[in-house]
């Protein structure tokens, strides 16, 4: 009897140690057409070493299938996982499922269980506002990217050097540079084959708004420093923008195919090709050129506007919302939050990107880092077994300094140049989350107004509609008829609701 008792006691003493490795269910979207397998990815093994938590996975690499799966999970009788990771949750879903109790409100739990993220949110109140829903809840945690994807102007520095031209600093000097690109054979092949400035459609042309002291969002609205909403197409600077773009186009300084082309039609794959591009809008020059040719391009700092300002549109901001949520099925939300909080530290974020120092990568004496050159590293990195960050949006505080210290010269040039625009970025409008009712109001307005504005830009720039006092007055009258005043009123009410 004593022997049986001692055996049973031994088993009971071991049982809590076994239970320390808590297992949860996780579902998520790794990114369209990702080839990564979460069950073998080393990120999750590293996180288990740190936290003791393990997961069983339901992974999707197709956005449509992930959306179908989400709908089924949250439907009556659906089976909710504990955690949604790389969740791609929409504002509608966050509001609906936090209101319904299927997603828990994380806000009351963050200070105690996510101290690293909480400290970041306290230091940056706008980030907390950006992830807080209209119902006052935080349904999902964000990806924080302080070098967020922008759409700056990349200009051919090699051509500037060849022609002994200074970097343009205002619209007038830009026109002079583009004229030289057109006329003075900067690629030195004896042909007049250069395209001074490339763009794709009205959306990209509107990034020139910064040269008029304006940064407007996709609704064509912006909030001034006094808290007043403006509809840019109704303003005089917009008419000047139309006139200037028409002038550049008529002189052959803008791509003649700009209203009918696509990135796939402009892409150069051959490293030995003759470069014919002077300047263009793009997140990186890799959208158009092979890596070996990207060294010729640098980011153009914002042109100085007539009012002396130098600003540029902050396209996506620093917050990607809806990346990580915990459902009502989870029995220990605090443990899961402690798990994810690791990713809001520099060390945790770096490990999510590239693994542990010394295993596949190392620092050099100059402070840069690079991958090891052995076959094991190549195999694991190329196979997607090391990183979890390069597809889909995930909860993370992006390690900007580390990213910018990558030892590859060509890659480092691009990442360093992407940061040139950062000091000038300005959000056209504060971060917001619209309710379904609000979207029902604004979407029909945007469909009518936005389409009319973009079509009108194309017609004015192409010369199909001549620019005159009469045509501009007619353009504004049509904007009024389509609801410009209602658009301003709507966004003013959104801006006013965010005031303390």
pLDDT given at position 13: 37
What fold characterizes domain 22-147+318-398?
Answer: D-Maltodextrin-Binding Protein; domain 2 (3.40.190)
pLDDT one-digit tens code per residue, 79-109: 999 999 999 999 999 999 999 999 999 999 9
Sign of CA dihedral 10, 15, 16, 20: positive
Does residue 437 register a pLDDT over 70? yes
Q: How confident is the model at residue 148, as a pLDDT?
A: 64
Which class for 235: exposed (0-12), middle (13-18), buried (19 or more C-beta within 10 A)?
A: middle
Whether 459 has a pLDDT exceeding 60, the answer reads yes
Averaged pLDDT for residues 239-256? 98
Looking at the predicted structure, is the pLDDT value of residue 464 above 60?
yes
CA distance 390 to 478: 45
Q: Record the pTM.
A: 0.86
Per-residue pLDDT reduced to its tens digit, 116-131: 999 999 999 999 999 9
* DSSP state, residue 127: H
Over residues 270-283, the pLDDT tens digits come to 999 999 999 999 99
Q: Is the alpha carbon torsion for 113, 117, 119, 121 positive or negative? A: negative
pLDDT for residue 500: 62
DSSP per-residue letters across 224-251: -TTS-EEEGGGSHHHHHHHHHHHHHHHT
Residues 216, 224 contacting (CB under 8 angstroms): no
Show Cβ contacts of residue 150 under 8 Å, excluding neighbours closer than 6 positions.
283, 312, 313, 314, 315, 316, 418, 421, 425
Q: Tokens for 9? A: 């006691």
Tokens standing for 217? 């969002």
pLDDT tens digits for range 141-186: 999 988 767 999 999 999 999 999 999 999 999 999 999 999 999 9
Question: Which region among 42-51, 103-112, 219-228, 371-380 has the lowest average model confidence (pLDDT)?
Answer: 371-380
Q: What percent of the chain has pLDDT over 90?
A: 84
**Contacts with 300 (C-beta within 8 Å, 6 or more apart), sequence order:** 152, 153, 154, 155, 167, 168, 279
Q: How many CB atoms lie within 10 A of CB 88?
A: 20
In this model, does residue 467 exceed pLDDT 90? Answer: yes
Q: Mean per-residue pLDDT for 391-403?
A: 92
Q: Say yes or no to pLDDT of 10 above 80.
A: no
Most confident residue range from 366-380, 406-420, 437-451? 437-451
User: Please, what is the average pLDDT of the chain?
Assistant: 93
Going by their DSSP bridges, the two strands 83-85 and 319-326 should be labelled as: antiparallel
Q: In what order do the strands lie in the sheet with 396-397?
A: 54-60, 23-29, 83-85, 319-326, 141-144, 396-397
Which tokens go with 465?
A: 């509609």
DSSP letters spanning 174-214: HHHHHHHHHHS-TT-SSS---EEEE--HHHHHGGGGGGGT-
Report pLDDT for 316. Answer: 82
Does the pLDDT value for residue 236 go beyond 50? yes
pLDDT at 17: 34
- Judging by DSSP bridges, how do beta strands 195-198 and 277-281 pair with one another? parallel
* Averaged pLDDT, 42-53: 96
Grouping H, G, I as helix, E, B as strand and the rest as coil, residue 206 is helix
Distance CA 475, CA 461 (A): 14
Predicted confidence at residue 383, as pLDDT, reads: 83
* Every domain of the chain and the residues it spans: 22-147+318-398, 151-313+427-500
Q: Contact at 8 Å (CB) between 390 and 182?
A: no
Query: What is the structure's pLDDT at 14?
Result: 38
pLDDT of residue 16: 37
pLDDT tens figures, 323-355: 999 999 999 999 999 999 999 999 999 999 999
Place of tokens 């900007």: 400
Q: State how far the Cα of 310 lies from the Cα of 294, in Å rounded to an integer.
A: 25
103 in Cβ contact with 97 (< 8 Å): yes
Paired sense of beta strands 23-29 and 54-60, if any:
parallel
pLDDT exceeds 60 at position 3: no
Decide: 184 and 163 in contact? Cβ < 8 Å: yes
Write down the pLDDT at residue 295. Answer: 95
Tell me the pLDDT band of 463, cut-offs 50, 70 and 90.
very high
Compute the distance between CA of residue 135 and CA of residue 96 in angstroms, rounded to an integer.
Answer: 10
Please state which of the ranges 328-342, 401-415, 481-495 shows the lowest mean pLDDT.
Answer: 401-415
User: What local confidence, expressed as pLDDT, does residue 21 receive?
Assistant: 60
Q: What is the CA radius of gyration of the chain?
A: 26
In CATH terms, is domain 151-313+427-500 a member of 3.40.50.620? Answer: no
Provide the pLDDT confidence category of residue 7 given band limits of 50, 70 and 90.
Answer: very low
Q: How many angstroms separate the CA atoms of 312 and 319, rounded?
A: 18
Q: What is the pLDDT of residue 5?
A: 34
């Amino acid at each position: 009897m004593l022997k049986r008792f001692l055996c049973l006691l031994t088993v009971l003493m071991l049982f809590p140690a076994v239970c320390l490795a808590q297992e949860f269910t996780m579902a998520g979207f790794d990114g369209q057409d990702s080839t990564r397998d979460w069950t073998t990815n080393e990120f999750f093994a590293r996180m288990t070493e740190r936290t003791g938590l393990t997961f069983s996975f339901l992974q999707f690499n197709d956005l449509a299938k992930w959306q179908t799966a989400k709908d089924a999970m949250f439907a009556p009788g659906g089976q909710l996982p504990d955690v949604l990771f790389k969740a791609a949750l929409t504002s509608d879903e966050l509001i609906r499922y936090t209101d319904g109790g299927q997603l828990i409100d994380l806000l009351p739990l963050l200070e105690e269980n996510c101290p690293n993220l909480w400290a970041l949110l306290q230091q940056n109140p706008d980030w907390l506002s950006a992830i807080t829903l209209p119902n006052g809840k935080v349904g999902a945690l964000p990806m924080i990217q302080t070098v967020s994807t922008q759409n700056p102007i990349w200009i051919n520095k090699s051509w500037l050097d060849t022609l002994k031209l200074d970097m343009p600093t205002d619209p007038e000097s830009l026109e002079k540079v583009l004229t030289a690109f057109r006329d003075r054979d900067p690629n030195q092949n004896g042909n007049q084959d250069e395209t001074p400035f490339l763009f794709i459609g009205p959306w990209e042309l509107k990034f020139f708004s910064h040269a008029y002291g304006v940064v407007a969002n996709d609704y064509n609205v912006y909030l001034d420093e006094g808290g007043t909403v403006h509809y840019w197409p109704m303003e005089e600077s917009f008419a000047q923008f139309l006139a200037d773009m028409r002038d550049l186009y008529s002189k052959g300084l803008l791509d003649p195919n700009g209203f009918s082309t696509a990135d796939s039609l402009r892409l150069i794959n051959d490293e030995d090709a003759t470069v014919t591009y002077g300047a263009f809008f793009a997140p990186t020059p890799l959208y158009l050129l092979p890596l070996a040719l990207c060294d010729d391009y640098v980011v153009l700092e914002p042109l100085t506007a007539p009012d002396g300002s130098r600003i540029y549109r902050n396209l996506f901001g620093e917050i990607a919302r809806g990346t990580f949520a915990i459902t009502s099925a989870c029995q220990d939300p605090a443990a899961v939050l402690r798990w994810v909080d690791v990713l809001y530290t520099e060390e945790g974020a770096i490990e999510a990107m590239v693994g542990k120092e010394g295993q596949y990568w190392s620092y050099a004496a100059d402070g840069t880092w690079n991958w090891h050159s052995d076959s094991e590293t190549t195999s694991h990195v190329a196979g997607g077994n090391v990183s979890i960050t390069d597809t889909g949006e995930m909860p993370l505080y992006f390690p900007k300094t580390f990213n910018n210290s990558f030892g590859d010269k060509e890659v480092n040039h691009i990442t360093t140049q992407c940061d040139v625009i950062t000091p000038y970025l300005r959000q056209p409008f504060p971060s917001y989350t619209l309710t379904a009712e609000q979207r029902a109001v604004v979407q029909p307005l945007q469909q009518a107004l936005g389409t009319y504005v973009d079509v009108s830009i194309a017609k004015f720039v192409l010369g199909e509609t001549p620019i005159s006092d009469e045509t501009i007055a007619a353009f504004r009258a049509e904007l009024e008829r389509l609801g410009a005043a209602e658009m301003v009123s709507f966004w003013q009410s959104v801006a006013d609701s965010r005031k303390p």
